[in-house]
Structure 1
């Protein structure tokens, strides 16, 4: 399996990939490589002599063309008769090979915190890069995903490939695809990193708040992973402030059944303001979702009262958990 490497001397002056129709793997590989070496010129060609010369030149990175996988020589192709594969047997795409070698450094370059790079790299590999590997190698097709397949990044990039082989149109389409892919990949990377940072923060708050069934957060943040962990098994609700009110979430069970550990009472379902205040006995209650996984109060005290009333109703056996649905 490919290993992480650090970009080495000499400096890269050329990024070389194939010309003609482009795909998500060469476009995304270009996103990573052009961030690491922003001053390198991008060459798109299939000329054998040019590719062969670049493949033996450490000042060039050759990817998705050339027939070689040699990361220390900065060669990242996957079209060989016996291509490099993941541990599960999935063949790598050019993007997958570049990601294994350069993805961690790319994350540092886009200012993902050093402590989050490893987890972020692994999650993106499993959740994004693997999918590109599978699609590029024909293991799965966007068409297999039904109507939603047309909205996948590989399909959207494919839409930017012009119908004819006009070199100028192909170059313009590649640049448009590159800009799109750069925005999407960077946004996803930062989102994943924020999720890991939040998980660490939420885990610390769980430990600090001991056995309280209501986990109170200082602001809205991703919490599902931390509260589903063993350390969060005692939790029933998550509470945090918003601009004008306080939001209370009923937590899902940890067994994958998507049931709520403690739903809000059925008599609160879909009620608002005065009607909810009357039903709940909480004067500043604002809203309860019809599926009983979310409730809102104007104050922290009101939100915590709603949680306590829901716990009492649950413990009395008068409430059964609905499926958690937005």
Structure 2
């Protein structure tokens, strides 16, 4: 019986970036490339010998060559995106569904809907920014009009990777660059896997809890404007999608849930999943009050706080936050 062939991954030598650091890591998470060797080289003979070539060679065929530097290259993830792909996006475009199914242990057939959802969301919320950064695409269409309040250049993951390159005056060898690339690939990969695991194991399963709470909303209050979760789950985006699916966009005003300290929270539903502005904030007269002062003012025992901005509050029991929500309506 012949030994299984050891596959070879090749990327370019010298200075490295976030995109190929992640591309190589993603490939190595697949069973197909788990034991593959990595060569970093700009020698065409090494490209020819490799089974897959990433971020070098001037070719893209979706089979062996995954480079984006050629002049005519203009590939995006799909028709919904305008960002040109980097090597990370190219690898993800062709191997992303396998990366998701293998790393999250999802069956490609029975979990096809979940995989399809994650395939798009992981690109949108993680990979696309790496593609844009590597291709020099600004986040803002009119960057000159925006004055930043702080500098985050060295906090961005692409810059963290870039700073791992040996200094220009260090007389670093190819071996030194290779060693630092291994660190960069690990950093990019761990961050990616943490996000993928969160999306697949935490965010996606949370939808069933929000669906049940939405279905039971009239049991919480006849208005149907209050949703009660018996435990905290990531609920905002799921709620917006569930409302849309049920022709109830904008109807839910407050979400109640038990927090990690075993007390209860009342959250005003935001205008969007990333907004602090709410559909209906908690009453202005309550904002900033705490504990006994808040309980006396509202007539609700066991109050803990109402945030000064009016988007969230807390109480010791489910009954208390439910009463605060009813009064807030």
TM-score, with normalisation over the residues of structure 1?
0.82
1:197 paired residue among 185, 191, 205: 205
8 Å contact from structure 1 (residues 227, 233) kept in 2:
no
State the SS of the aligned residue for 2:267: strand
User: Quick check: 1:222 aligned with 2:234?
Assistant: yes
- The 5-angstrom pairing of residues 56-67 of structure 1 reads 60-67=51-58
User: Quick check: 1:182 aligned with 2:189?
Assistant: yes
Change (3 A) 1:236 1:120: same
Render the CA deviation track for 1:208-260: whole Å, top value 9, x for unaligned: 43452210112111111233343352211101113331111011236998542
User: Quick check: 1:148 aligned with 2:152?
Assistant: yes
Q: Which residue of 2 aligns with 1:246?
A: 264
- The 5-angstrom pairing of residues 1-326 of structure 1 reads 13-36=7-30, 37-54=33-50, 60-72=51-63, 74-86=64-76, 87=79, 90-111=83-104, 113=106, 114=111, 115-140=113-138, 147-163=151-167, 164=170, 165-193=172-200, 194-210=202-218, 212-228=224-240, 229-230=243-244, 231=248, 233-242=250-259, 243-253=261-271, 259-311=277-329
CA RMSD of aligned residues (A): 2.5
Report how many aligned residue pairs link the two structures: 295
Q: Runs (4+) of structure 1 moved beyond 6 Å?
A: none
Identify unmatched segments of 5+ residues in structure 2. Answer: none
State the SS of the aligned residue for 2:213: helix
State the SS of the aligned residue for 1:296: strand
1:99 and 1:188 map into 2 onto residues whose CA distance is 14
2:284 and 2:139 map into 1 onto residues whose CA distance is 43
Identify unmatched segments of 5+ residues in structure 1. Answer: 1-9, 55-59, 312-326
Which range moved further: 199-208 or 104-113?
Answer: 199-208
8 Å contact from structure 2 (residues 10, 46) kept in 1:
no
State the SS of the aligned residue for 2:204: helix
2:318 and 2:182 map into 1 onto residues whose CA distance is 50
TM-score, with normalisation over the residues of structure 2?
0.82
Q: Which residue of 2 aligns with 1:5?
A: none
8 Å contact from structure 1 (residues 112, 190) kept in 2:
no
